[in-house]
Structure 1
Amino acid sequence: MKKIDNATVQRILDAADIVEVVSDFVALKKRGANYVGLCPFHNDRSPSFYVSKSKGMCKCFSCGEGGSPVSFIMKLEQLSFTEALRYLAKKYNIEIEEREMTDEERRAENDRENMFALNDFAMRYFEKTLKETADGRDIGLSYFRYRGISDAMIEKFHLGYALEGRDALYKTAIERGYSEQYLISTGVCNRTDDGRVYDRFRGRVIYPIFTLAGKVVAFGGRTLSSEKKIAKYVNSPESDIYLKRRELYGLFQAKQAIAKAQKCILVEGYMDVISMHQAGVCNVVASSGTALTVEQVRLIKRFTSNVTLIYDSDAAGIKASLRGIELLLQDDMDIKVLLLPEGEDPDSFAQSHSSSEVEAYISEHETDFISFMASILMDGAASNPTKRAEVITRVVKTIALIPDEIKRSVYAQECSRILFMDEDVLRREIGKYYNEFRLKSREEQQRAEVFTGGSPVAQTGGPADGSGSDGEPGPTQPAAQQPAGVSRHVRFLRTYEMNIARLIAKYGNYAFADGIDDDGNAVPMTVLEYIEADLAADEISFVNPDLAHFFAEARRLSRYSWDADLARRREELE
């Protein structure tokens, strides 16, 4: 195995433009001399990720992540330094010059790189099989032709075919020098209990799944057999490089179109995505038949906050997928829903309509999610008071997930009209559930902090999400861990007390302002003295026992030992 030489590394570093690199993953907007967007490293509700073209650096002023183009790629895609350099070299068409690696360097190469390499080989193998073998052309290519898929789309999505043979891919990979270990760990092959290895996807058309950076992490395989005992779809198992909840099919091919259109269209299957792209509607991705996850929502939000979900007319499937809408709402996304005509799905609809017709249909028929949700759930429940009450409660709980108060108010009005309910009643119920969700979210955050041993302040170096940049606690800032049975009042105040304690710990003995002594003379006041005087003037004291103890100890140390300690340290330094 070889290593990139230093001269090539320098050429890559010189060519890499931080704005161009970050723009592949984050929708950026110009703001003065810099660019800003939603941070890809945490759940960013408002843009806090800044990119400086002149400095060649990026940084999130909320979570603190950032760095150079190489470190950005390393952190975001979980790549090694070498892998990140290869990514950038490919982006900027730089030919890599290599030298032989030492034994130590060879041992340092991790399993992830080998697994990615194996997946890339498998993808090329499946593509070649589709185009250059008789079975590939007669079975796999014929299937894609039957489904109306063009050569351009076959190339764009790297579609392929796996031969029926038990171990055709396995034998070819071993002959090419690939390790059986990675054939198994990526899930390209399986091993039986008696030790025999066989190809997982044999006899299937292949849909490679890419990361946002364009690396192959997994495959989906569809059988063309009519036997009912054979699973229609087989997918790669989760591995060190593939977690299903973190990937969206087609996002690599769609990310630029999503950022340009400022809308992401979400469908269900591989063919839905491919046919929509072929029709010229390229801002389309799929959750691949699984329920939408938080990680997938955040992937979409890197490029846009506007999502349109397309459904066929299967009411049962629609009701089952409403959980995905709730996740989108919770992340403050703007959601619309589109029902296709009876008997149509995104694949068939895109195949039978032009690009302009598809876009026009979406524009004219997409519906606000509240109207859609209410009408779907109320179907068959309007004449049953119990079911009607359940539907109203479900809709109210969903509205309560929305972080923005104005949006909640607008949806309350709309819901009142649709469900024939008093708006004030709905507002009270929405407010009740909103407070419950906030409290639950805080408690989950507290448990996470206890598990990780961190805190909002300790982890970010500043206030937790929901606070202002000046350190003032915001209404959604999670409280720190509290013992069971502590009142909501104490729990609420803890966030504010934690921020005061942070200021005291960092700046307590710094001179801050001038105060007036008993004789009317101006005397310097420290930050701690100023806070103490301000709290005393308003007759405010700490209500959390541990923070009250911290405050008292800080006062004691400042008054009785600070000057002596400072003098001693200065003497030691001198």
Structure 2
Amino acid sequence: MSSPTHQEFRELVRSHTDLVSLIGESISLQPRHGGRHYVGLCPFHPDNNPSLNVYPDRQTFRCWSCQTGGDCFTFLMEREKVTFPESLELLARRANLAIPQNLTRSTPEQDTTKSKLLEVLHWAEAEFHKFLLTQPAAAPARAYLTDRGFTEQIIGDYKLGFHPDDWTWLLKRAEGKFPAKLLVEARLAGEKEGRHYDAPFAVNRVLFPIHNERGQVVSFGGRILPGSKEPAKYINGAESTVFHKSQLLYAIDKARDAIGQSKQAIVVEGYTDCLICHQHGILNVVATLGTALTDSHVTALKRFAQQVVLVFDGDDAGQNAAKKAVERFLAQDVELRILTLPEKLDPAEFLAAYNADGFRALVEQAPEAWEFQFRMTRLLHGGDSIAGRQRILEDMLHLLAQVPNISGSLREGLLIANLAQRLQLSEATVREQLKLVREKKKDRPRPSEPQAAIKDLSREAGRIYRGRLGSEERVECDLLEQVLTAPENIGFVSAAVGEHPVKNPVFREILDACCWEAEENGELTLAGLLGRVENPELKSLIVWIDEQAVAKGLAEKVRESGYDDDGCPAFLKRALDELNWHRATQSHATVASQLSQQADGAGRLDEATEDALLRQAAEFHLKRATRKTTV
């Protein structure tokens, strides 16, 4: 029997798709005129009165307000933002229709495609979930989830799973079903020296499936069990063709409709917080995936929400993350609000101690981002004195100067007027001070200027190529390799070296160019960095450093190392800690020298200065002792 043509298969899929049922999965439909047609709120524009009409007899739909209309393929293409071939494939799978070989884009023997990756990920999700529910080896995982307050329903609805402590368990389960190469492409497995192994994010971990907006599983997050000696508490699967963590939010598939109905998205920092919120009936909640909120995240949320509320833990790390978020998104055309929870609680702890109504009340009271930062700055400096008001003005204008794409905008004008009124200053004065702050920022040497000033660049580059570096320079080189292989982490490195630039002038030049590229273009890419750097020798060195990073497999090491509470990869955090230790050692050497001169009578230190130096020395020795016990 010959395979159907493309047109024949399209009509077969159409005949197996009930449009009322399909649209009813996304919005609530009400029958009219005895079921001859249905109406509902249109998902393609803000709709208060039902204007979307669905006609079962013709299997078509039309919105009489925004004029969007068509058949089942049109609805899916508009709703999910996919191409026609993708909509055909999605509806075929929904109808349990086998896609003819002549129409599919791959075979098991060919290079993997998006559909095959999604298929193996869906299979793995089922395997992990079944193991969690049925196997004795998963008892500690079930006990952990129970202790955290998860119900059986939430575990089932979100397909939580577990991978046993066996590095080939999933590969063995896949034998005869999927080739090992496909599991590697899906980041469910790895390969080293010709041997395959299950992905580190999964082994002996509780697994949280990560779905895209269409509900397709694209990766997993793994959480260690209590008592584990693994340093990384959470590890996400590595990025793949179908998974980009900086563009995806956890539980967006479950939360999308609630966000669209409420026009509000609540963003928390972890899977557990997100699921506990959903369990308490707060469904318009999503979570970031081990990263800070990105422009891509905000752009995606703006399709559904008019207001985004960022919820941070009440500890110091949460406060710092909130400040960074204000700076990054103040210029976005979305109402951004910041909520830090009281008593240093995270959302799950708050809901356990109080209730959903208490959480919702705090969300509704959350201040706008600008207001949040003003309150924090006023709390820090006080606003009753002239000096305090001046410091508030300086901090707020520094923040405003850091915000991209806001200069000269209406939003900037409104913020300036707000600041002037609250500090009892004229708008003209505030504008003039902002201009001065921006001019100082512009005066900072740009990467293109000092390139020629590096003394004997060829000799320095040769020394780097030959590996003739001091211990601190080696750490700096490692940091650059990590920046080039995982450029989304440039913010952590920039913050760490901001006050104390790196020692090696060539590395400092490259890192400066990286920071400027990320700041001015919103992201750091190798192509953008090479386009920014003019010196050909420096370009060659950047390419060489990138090649070294690839040869070492740093990208995978960074991704699989886990993340701290700020979203910094553990692998990068270790390098930054090592750099800070080198700086502390150098600083201590200076302190020790001053104290030695004082003891010999050669120095002239007043009593307060000497006490301060002695305290610094004592703190250094304490850190060194602690470092020795942890290394």
Same fold (TM over 0.5): yes
Determine whether 1:133 maps to 2:135.
Answer: yes
Instruction: Identify the residue that residue 525 of structure 1 maps to in structure 2.
Output: none
Paired residue for 2:68, among 19, 28, 52?
A: 52
Structure 1: which 4+ aligned runs deviate by more than 6 Å? 16-25, 31-35, 383-387, 431-437
| Deviation, structure 1 residue 77 | 4.3
Distance of aligned partners of 1:250 and 1:430 in 2 relative to their CA distance in 1, 3 Å threshold: farther
Determine whether 1:85 maps to 2:88.
Answer: yes
Instruction: Identify the residue that residue 213 of structure 1 maps to in structure 2.
Output: 214
Instruction: Identify the residue that residue 424 of structure 1 maps to in structure 2.
Output: 428
Deviation readout 1:298-350 (Å, 9 max, x if unpaired): 11001012011112222343224433334433331111211211131111112
Instruction: Identify the residue that residue 117 of structure 1 maps to in structure 2.
Output: 119
Q: Calculate the TM-score normalised by the size of structure 1.
A: 0.62
| Deviation, structure 1 residue 141 | 1.1
Output the CA distance in 1 between the equivalents of 2:183 and 2:242: 13
Identity %: 22
Instruction: Identify the residue that residue 282 of structure 1 maps to in structure 2.
Output: 283
Output the CA distance in 2 between the equivalents of 1:386 and 1:316: 27
Instruction: Identify the residue that residue 38 of structure 1 maps to in structure 2.
Output: none
| Deviation, structure 1 residue 134 | 0.6
Output the CA distance in 2 between the equivalents of 1:384 and 1:104: 67
Matched positions, count: 414
Instruction: Identify the residue that residue 188 of structure 2 maps to in structure 1.
Output: 188
Unaligned runs of 5+ in 1: 36-48, 58-66, 452-574
Determine whether 1:11 maps to 2:15.
Answer: yes
| Deviation, structure 1 residue 353 | 2.8
Amino acid at match of 1:154: I
Question: Does the 8 Å CA contact 1:27/1:259 hold for their aligned counterparts?
Answer: no
Distance of aligned partners of 1:264 and 1:402 in 2 relative to their CA distance in 1, 3 Å threshold: farther
Distance of aligned partners of 1:151 and 1:394 in 2 relative to their CA distance in 1, 3 Å threshold: farther
Question: Does the 8 Å CA contact 1:213/1:252 hold for their aligned counterparts?
Answer: yes
Deviation readout 1:487-529 (Å, 9 max, x if unpaired): xxxxxxxxxxxxxxxxxxxxxxxxxxxxxxxxxxxxxxxxxxx
Distance of aligned partners of 1:199 and 1:245 in 2 relative to their CA distance in 1, 3 Å threshold: closer
1:363-378 paired onto structure 2 within 5 Å: 363=364, 365-377=365-377
Output the CA distance in 2 between the equivalents of 1:386 and 1:166: 60
Distance of aligned partners of 1:128 and 1:321 in 2 relative to their CA distance in 1, 3 Å threshold: same
Distance of aligned partners of 1:213 and 1:99 in 2 relative to their CA distance in 1, 3 Å threshold: closer
Paired residue for 2:75, among 38, 45, 69?
A: 69
Determine whether 1:252 maps to 2:269.
Answer: no
Amino acid at match of 2:243: Y
Determine whether 1:269 maps to 2:285.
Answer: no
Output the CA distance in 2 between the equivalents of 1:17 and 1:264: 27
Output the CA distance in 2 between the equivalents of 1:145 and 1:99: 41
Distance of aligned partners of 1:140 and 1:418 in 2 relative to their CA distance in 1, 3 Å threshold: farther
Q: Calculate the TM-score normalised by the size of structure 2.
A: 0.57
Determine whether 1:239 maps to 2:240.
Answer: yes
Question: Does the 8 Å CA contact 1:21/1:69 hold for their aligned counterparts?
Answer: no
SS of corresponding position for 2:339: strand
| Deviation, structure 1 residue 226 | 3.2
Question: Does the 8 Å CA contact 1:34/1:52 hold for their aligned counterparts?
Answer: no
1:3-42 paired onto structure 2 within 5 Å: 5-11=9-15, 15=19, 28-30=45-47
Output the CA distance in 2 between the equivalents of 1:434 and 1:298: 27
1:529-540 paired onto structure 2 within 5 Å: none
| Deviation, structure 1 residue 269 | 0.5
| Deviation, structure 1 residue 289 | 3.1
SS of corresponding position for 1:240: coil
1:125-524 paired onto structure 2 within 5 Å: 125-136=127-138, 138-175=139-176, 177-193=177-193, 195-200=195-200, 201-363=202-364, 365-377=365-377, 379-381=379-381, 390-397=394-401, 401-402=405-406, 407-419=411-423, 421-428=425-432
Question: Does the 8 Å CA contact 2:397/2:434 hold for their aligned counterparts?
Answer: no
Output the CA distance in 1 between the equivalents of 2:331 and 2:27: 25
Output the CA distance in 2 between the equivalents of 1:348 and 1:131: 26
Amino acid at match of 1:158: K
Output the CA distance in 2 between the equivalents of 1:304 and 1:103: 37
Question: Does the 8 Å CA contact 2:222/2:234 hold for their aligned counterparts?
Answer: yes
Question: Does the 8 Å CA contact 2:255/2:283 hold for their aligned counterparts?
Answer: yes
SS of corresponding position for 1:322: helix
Output the CA distance in 2 between the equivalents of 1:106 and 1:311: 44
SS of corresponding position for 2:291: coil
Distance of aligned partners of 1:145 and 1:313 in 2 relative to their CA distance in 1, 3 Å threshold: same
Output the CA distance in 1 between the equivalents of 2:197 and 2:267: 37
Amino acid at match of 1:160: G
Moved more, 422-431 or 229-238: 422-431
SS of corresponding position for 2:213: coil
Unaligned runs of 5+ in 2: 29-41, 53-64, 443-516, 529-631
Question: Does the 8 Å CA contact 2:329/2:403 hold for their aligned counterparts?
Answer: no
SS of corresponding position for 1:187: coil
